[in-house]
Amino acid sequence: MSNTAQIILDGKTYELPIIEGTERERAIDISKLRALTGGVTTIDPGYKNTGATESAITFLDGEKGILRYRGYSIEELAERSTFLEVAYLLIYGDLPNEEQLTTWKSDITLHTLVHEEIKNILDGFPSNAHPMGVLSSLISALTAFYPKSLDPNRSMDQVDLSIVRIIAKMPTIAAWAFKNEIGHPVNYPDNTLNYCENFIKMLFATPAEIYHVDPVLSNALNKLLILHADHEQNCSTSTVRIVGSSQASLYSSISAGISALWGPLHGGANQAVIEMLEEIKASGGDTKKYLDKAKDKNDPFRLMGFGHRVYKNFDPRATIIKKAADDVLNKLGVNDPVLEIARGLEEAALKDEYFISRKLYPNVDFYSGIIYRAMGIPTEMFTVMFTLGRLPGWIAQWKEMRENNEPIGRPRQIYTGHNSRPYMELGER
Ligand code: ACO
């Protein structure tokens, strides 16, 4: 196979190198194109065909439905590993040995408390504030409490400390954002519990009763967090990388990633799916009406939880989550009618020519909301759960970008506005 590509422009041929990844993916390196051609650039709205970086973290093959973190299959990790092990794997490149894991867990446990003044900021939010907005603000606010984190070029020890702090404090802040919304007092972390148990307790315990964490909930959460932990250069991860490329701190880069994740076309889809299924249920379960709406180009409605920029066959995370949804609902003895609606909708869509021809399949978020609901997690917290899961992926990608000394992210454009024109005085406009 050739290791260069040729571009013929105005009769002149330019040779561009081809780079190849470890899974034989190939890309034309256009980084010198402008210099070679005297200013011609490329255009690709939505970056549908643009590789922004070389990365050794996550491999996915959208045609074959493969997803691997650092070489390990998502199926195996979801079945056998823990979220903190996977976080270590993503961030530091290998699964931790026993000693590394013990240190990693105890470092994280040591930092679960957040500064009491964070509570003052939390109190300033209206009680009905969406927890994603609260979370993004409070994560950004961490920069005020840890000013040394502002300089990502400081020692690696400082970067590692920022990493441990954000992984440790995110569950506390996320649970507090929820408590603020429902007007309950916040819970402090319980360091005798593991990561998922502690989060669930902070979320659900009240001063009125003794709370015991149901292992069905903590095991389900462990699996869901692993499944969401990284997904290479998606919208929020690219946001984290591009913000970090200006040498912004880890906390501010992650805060930006949270905002990007919030949108309904990305992480916000899990909330949108349940709202859609509820609406279908309220309409008497008329799935056909909603499939027709999704297919109608004059109607902005989309089938939420369906379709993916990269997966054009199936989303391997959706396969695992669909099975987990059955399992969790059975174990918890929950009979949720929206699960039936979801199954019916999926079955009908998968037989429909519109969805078949466009290769639209359920994505990770089609069934995740059903599990969260069965766990008693309110709808507006679903994207917060996704945030908890995606955190190690964002950190790993931010760290890789910094270690590779990547230049500041700054895309080009093709200008289509007015040509030069003289200023008009107010009375002449
Ligand atoms: N319902 C109906 N039609 C759809 C859907 C959908 N969910 N998704 C894509 N299409 C159609 C588009 O209208 C388009 O049709 P056309 O070729 O006739 O114009 C075609 O399929 C291709 O869709 P694009 O929007 O070009 O695909 P893109 O890769 O840009 O978008 C996305 C991917 C945003 C995920 C899209 O499928 C979508 O909006 N899905 C619903 C929201 C969702 O579930 N998001 C979560 C994604 S997973 C995640 O971020 C964790």
Identify the pLDDT of residue 2. 83
Q: Mind listing the pLDDT tens digit for each residue in 5-47?
A: 999 999 999 999 999 999 999 999 999 999 999 999 999 999 9
What is the CA(299)–ligand 1 centre distance, in A? 14
Ligand 1 atom 30 nearest Cα: 309
Q: Where on the phi/psi map is residue 370: left (φ > 0), alpha (ψ -120 to 50), or beta?
A: alpha
Residue corresponding to tokens 């089609």: 366
Ligand 1 centroid vs 241 CA: distance in angstroms? 24
307 Cα: distance to centroid of ligand 1 (angstroms): 5
Q: Is the Cβ atom of 360 under 6 angstroms away from ligand 1? A: yes
- Residue 269 CB–ligand 1 contact under 6 Å: yes
| Index of the ligand 1 atom closest to the CA of residue 273 | 44
The CB of 364 under 6 Å from ligand 1? The reply is: yes
Q: What percent of the chain has pLDDT over 70?
A: 100
**Domain residues of the chain, as ranges?**
4-51, 81-406
Q: Does residue 409 carry a pLDDT above 90?
A: yes
Of 109, 62, 139, nearest to 316 (Cα)? Answer: 62
Any idea which residues carry the catalytic annotation? 308, 365
Give tens-digit pLDDT for 100-114: 999 999 999 999 999
Does residue 151 carry a pLDDT above 90?
no
Q: What whole-number percentage of the chain has pLDDT above 90?
A: 85
Q: Alpha-carbon distance 79 to 428, whole Å?
A: 70
Nearest alpha carbon, ligand 1 atom 37: 307
Q: What is the pLDDT of residues 178-196, one digit of tens each?
A: 999 899 999 999 999 999 9
Residues in the chain: 429
Residue with CA closest to ligand 1 atom 16 = 358
Give the model's confidence band at 248: pLDDT under 50 very low, under 70 low, under 90 confident, else very high. Answer: very high
> Does any ligand 1 atom lie closer than 6 A to the CB of residue 363?
yes
| CATH pick for 4-51 out of 3.30.720, 2.20.28, 1.10.1740, 3.40.50 | 2.20.28
- pLDDT for position 153: 80
Q: Average pLDDT of 159-176?
A: 97
Contact 164, 395 (CB under 8 A): no
User: What is the dotted CATH code of the domain comprising 81-406?
Assistant: 1.10.580.10
Q: Ligand 1 center to residue 297 CA distance, Å?
A: 12
Task: Enter the pTM of the model.
Answer: 0.94
What mean pLDDT, rounded, does the chain reach?
94
User: Which tens digit of pLDDT belongs to each residue from 288-335?
Assistant: 999 999 999 999 999 999 999 999 888 999 999 988 888 888 999 988
pLDDT at 326: 85
393 lines ligand 1 (CB under 6 A): no
Residue 232 has pLDDT above 80, yes or no: yes
Q: Which residues contact 186 (CB under 8 A, 6 or more apart)?
A: 119, 122, 175, 176, 179, 180, 202
Cα 344 to ligand 1 centroid, rounded to whole Å: 20
- 366 pocket-lining for ligand 1 (C-beta < 6 Å): no
The pLDDT of residue 128 is 86
Topology agreement, domain 4-51 and domain 81-406: no
pLDDT of residue 391: 98
pLDDT of residue 139: 98
How sure is the predictor about 273, in pLDDT bands with cuts at 50, 70 and 90? very high
